[in-house]
Structures are given as structure tokens and as C-alpha cells.
Amino acid sequence: MHLKFNILPGQFQALFRSEKILWFFFIGVLSSLTDLGLLYYLTSFLGIWYLASASLSYCCGIVISYSLNKYLTFHDQNHHYIAQFSTFAAVSVSCLILNLCIMWTMVELLSVHYLLAKICGISVGFLWNYYGQSTITFRKSRSGGKT
């Protein structure tokens, strides 16, 4: 069963129509649960400032997300692991910055609990992260192979 996305133009339509986004979502849930669990532990039990905790926990989620998405979502055979992980991390850091801005705004200006703010940040960053990873990190080269 294929869903029609009439509102999305060409490239976006192809990106979000595939089963890859479902794998990306499920792996994102797993890495987000890791992220949230570490954020809670670091902030509530160790007393680390919530934005510092959020940065550290997000980085742990990046490692899980890269490892699983490389093989399960994108079936990527690229053996340039360091260069590819660096690209993956750069896209992820752009999402982290967005996430931290959302968290700060919600916690400091709207008095929202830091975990709820984190969940909102994760939700907002999902589509940006998928778009970035699928078009930059794991894009297909013009010759049909992986870059």
C-alpha cells in the first residue's frame, strides 16, 4: 500500500513515500529513548544542568542511530566509516542545536518540564534529521552506488 503525498513536491515525495522513513522512525524511537533515559539520569540523579545533559545524551543517541540506520534503514555498504560518521554527526548536531533551542525556550520562557521540552524538540527535529541523513549522509551517488 503506497500513500499519496500530493502536497509534497518531487524529491520530498520520493523521500517520504518509502519504507525507509518507517525504519528511520523506529530507530529514532530507540535512540530517543536512550537519549531521554540518559537525560533524566544525568539531570535528576547527577544534578547536571539540563542543557548539558541533553547535549551528552543526544551524542549517545547519535552513535546508536548511525549504527542501526547505516545497515537497517539505508542498507549502506560504504566502508569510509569515519568520514561517513562525521557527516552523520554534523547533520545530527544541526538537529541538536534545534533541539536545545526548543528546550531552552520551553523550559526558560514557558516553564515546561525539561523532559516534555525534550520530547517536543525530538518531534520537531525528526523530519529535518531524516531529510538531512537521507540526502546528505546516505545519498546514492549519480552512478547508483552509495557515497
Each residue's pLDDT tens digit, 105-136: 999 999 999 999 999 999 999 888 989 998 99
Q: pLDDT value at position 11?
A: 57
Question: How many angstroms separate the CA atoms of 51 and 48, rounded?
Answer: 8
- 106 contacts 115 by C-beta, under 8 angstroms: no
User: Quick check: 6 pLDDT over 90?
Assistant: no
Tell me the three state secondary structure of residue 81: helix
Kindly tell me the number of DSSP H helices and DSSP E strands found in the chain: 5, 0
Burial class (CB in 10 A: 0-12, 13-18, 19+), 17: middle
Q: pLDDT value at position 10?
A: 58
Tens digit of each residue's pLDDT (9 = 90 or more) over 49-75: 999 999 999 999 999 999 999 888 888
Q: pLDDT value at position 15?
A: 55
Report, as an integer, the average pLDDT of 32-46.
97
Percentage of residues of the chain with pLDDT beyond 70? 82
Task: Please provide the average confidence, as pLDDT, over all residues in the chain.
Answer: 86
| Cell 531552552 belongs to residue | 104
Q: Which three cell numbers stand for residue 119?
A: 520530547
Q: pLDDT value at position 127?
A: 86
User: Quick check: 144 pLDDT over 90?
Assistant: no
Residue 58 vs residue 13, higher pLDDT = 58
